[in-house]
Structure 1
Amino acid sequence: MLSQLEKAQAFRQSHFDPNILVLPNAWDVASAKIFERKGFSAVGTTSAGIAASLGYPDGEFVPKELFITIIKRITESLSVPITADIVNGYGTHPTPLLETIQSIIDCGAVGINIEDGLVNGTLADIDHQSEKIQAIRTFSNSLGLPLVINARIDTYWAHIGDPTDRYDHTIQRAISYLAAGADSIFIPSIKDPVIIQSFVTAIDGPINILVGPDSPSIQELEQWGVARVSFGSGPIRKIYAQVEAIAEEIARKGSYHTLADPMPYATLNHLSE
């Protein structure tokens, strides 16, 4: 069994390996276990997935103690490295932010996603966000567990600013976040091959792309130099769409065909092992 530090080191190195890092995102122990058992070398959490499973909207509406408890259950149940999506860090100022980081490290996680998109649809000030990243880097290093910081830039996700300026704005933020201590840059909502390849060339650090059914293939992204792909809330949204279909069929038709081919009961129970 690798130590937490060894997991952090291995996870960081995976961003520089020839093969792209494929990172599924879990919302509970069962989903995380499924991903681990299918051979993924690391697992991320999805803040939207955790929030939805607990009856909250995404965006730090889940009480922090409950949020941390879920992440701890996942890290304690898996042997692969876990990176936690912590939204904005549950703290605008250093004290609550670093309390969150301490809790994440205490959970056993080795990486984080921290985003600059705010719940009101705007972006955090670039200097303030860079200071948060720098504080996390300094603090986690001082604890002897240098977290792998994946800095999410929401310019495209939130459609910030004039589209003609969005690319340059993203580059500016990426440069600042990497200088502050981020290990990788996460830019969700880009699917255009030209834009993706341009970011890979222009940004001096590993790039994380959010993928979905209409995204370029993993093989293509790897060829273009993308270091990491993640699925975000895609898997749990697909699961809930299936639950909705089951409910619709039973309520409207009185039939149960959508319940065909379920996971066996014994397999479900074994996910707790």
Structure 2
Amino acid sequence: MANTTRDSKLETFRFLHEKPGIFVMPNPWDAGSAKILETVGFESLATTSAGYAFSQGLQDGIAGLEREDVLENAAEIVNSVSLPVSADLEDGFGPIPQDCALTIERAVDIGLVGGSIEDASGNPERPIFEFSLAVERVAAAAEIAKKRGFVLTARAENYLNGRPDLDNTIRRLQAFEKAGADVLFAPGLPSLEAIRIVCNSVNKPVNVVMGLSGPTFTLDELQNAGVKRVSVGGSFARAALGALYNAAKEIKTFGTFDYSRDAMPHSKVMQFMTESTRQMEHRKASD
């Protein structure tokens, strides 16, 4: 992919974080789902490690995916659409700061304009990296991100790992901000008030994820709480898998095929694929 194309996507992605108002960055798990989301009208996309893992018959989690596999999946999505694409880069694929830096380097090389690094370790006994190491990891990633042109999201994973400590989460996010992160993210916050407190405690854009278990809030509610960006994690992939499971169970249980009434028509899928390709070709011509 030409550098000018990636540069224009990076400019667009940064503008989305700077302009007034909230925006949604949904999470496709492959090129086809990415094309549909582009055609629906979203302005940027983000990969989902969970959705990709499920598509490969793997469990979600740091131990289930390798850096090369995740980046290969991300590259397929990047090259299938004209939109800016950010990536779920898990823990940076290694415990030391240099691992995170290398992951950002590789992410830039395949055309990604952003990505997230989390402070979850994958170690059940110590699921969250010690504070100073977590900050050093973000700092190493941020140094490369600034040099290469990349929107870095730093994730504080306490609430997804059995540590519902809002004060510690905020302390980590504030330290990640000082270390150079462009966007801050604490998935699994328990309430709208907790989200509001986090947004008021930092000066960089805050991402939240909707569609997981627990309460959900409208875009208006999230914007009023100070949220800038909303992602959906693996929930779109799980919605698709839910439809697949229900269709299979209907056949096996009742011997009927009524699920097909709710399935997207073949012609509509073809239309989505064609329209997305047209948009990508138009973007390349403009660049």
Give yes or no for TM over 0.5.
yes
Instruction: Confirm or deny that 1:15 pairs with 2:17.
Output: yes
Q: Is contact 2:28–2:34 with CA below 8 Å preserved after alignment?
A: yes
Query: In the aligned structure 2, how far is the partner of 1:19 from the partner of 1:94?
Result: 34
Q: Deviations over 1:45-95 (max 9, x none)?
A: 101111110111122322332221111111011111000001111122344
User: Aligned with 2:43: secondary structure?
Assistant: coil
Query: In the aligned structure 2, how far is the partner of 1:13 from the partner of 1:125?
Result: 33
Deviation for aligned residue 1:269 = 4.0
Matched-pair identity in %? 32
Q: Is contact 1:200–1:207 with CA below 8 Å preserved after alignment?
A: yes
Deviation for aligned residue 1:6 = 3.0
Query: In the aligned structure 2, how far is the partner of 1:186 from the partner of 1:140?
Result: 17
User: Aligned with 2:20: secondary structure?
Assistant: coil
RMSD over aligned CA atoms reads: 1.9
Query: In the aligned structure 1, how far is the partner of 2:89 from the partner of 2:261?
Result: 36
Tell me the residue number matched to 1:134. Answer: 139
Tell me the residue number matched to 2:280. Answer: none
Tell me the residue number matched to 2:285. Answer: none
Deviation for aligned residue 1:31 = 0.8
Tell me the residue number matched to 2:95. Answer: 92
C-alpha change, 1:94 and 1:191, in structure 2 (3 Å) is: closer
Tell me the residue number matched to 2:106. Answer: 103
Work out which of the residue numbers 154, 159, 173 in structure 2 matches 1:156.
159
Q: Deviations over 1:101-138 (max 9, x none)?
A: 22211111100011112323411122112112111121
Q: Deviations over 1:186-235 (max 9, x none)?
A: 11112412211111111222111111284110011112221111100111
User: Where does structure 1 differ by over 4 angstroms across 4 or more consecutive aligned residues?
Assistant: none
Query: Given residue 196 of structure 1, which amino acid in structure 2 is its aligned partner?
Result: I
User: Aligned with 2:79: secondary structure?
Assistant: helix
Tell me the residue number matched to 1:182. Answer: 181
Query: In the aligned structure 2, how far is the partner of 1:95 from the partner of 1:146?
Result: 18
Query: Given residue 223 of structure 1, which amino acid in structure 2 is its aligned partner?
Result: N
Q: List aligned pairs for 1:1-273, cutoff 5 A.
A: 3-60=5-62, 61-121=64-124, 122-142=127-147, 145-160=148-163, 163=164, 166-212=165-211, 214-270=215-271, 271=273, 273=277
Query: In the aligned structure 2, how far is the partner of 1:194 from the partner of 1:92?
Result: 32
Deviation for aligned residue 1:5 = 2.4
User: Which 5+ residue runs of structure 2 have no aligned equivalent?
Assistant: 278-287
Query: In the aligned structure 2, how far is the partner of 1:210 from the partner of 1:23?
Result: 10
User: Aligned with 2:181: secondary structure?
Assistant: coil
Q: Is contact 2:196–2:226 with CA below 8 Å preserved after alignment?
A: yes
User: Aligned with 1:105: secondary structure?
Assistant: helix
Q: Is contact 2:145–2:152 with CA below 8 Å preserved after alignment?
A: no
* More displaced 10-residue stretch of structure 1: 92-101 or 31-40: 92-101
Query: Given residue 220 of structure 1, which amino acid in structure 2 is its aligned partner?
Result: E
* More displaced 10-residue stretch of structure 1: 78-87 or 194-203: 194-203
Query: In the aligned structure 2, how far is the partner of 1:95 from the partner of 1:190?
Result: 29
Q: Deviations over 1:2-40 (max 9, x none)?
A: 632232233123223211021101100111111111111
User: Aligned with 2:24: secondary structure?
Assistant: strand
C-alpha change, 1:12 and 1:55, in structure 2 (3 Å) is: same
Deviation for aligned residue 1:257 = 1.0
Q: Is contact 2:121–2:129 with CA below 8 Å preserved after alignment?
A: yes
Query: In the aligned structure 2, how far is the partner of 1:206 from the partner of 1:65?
Result: 29
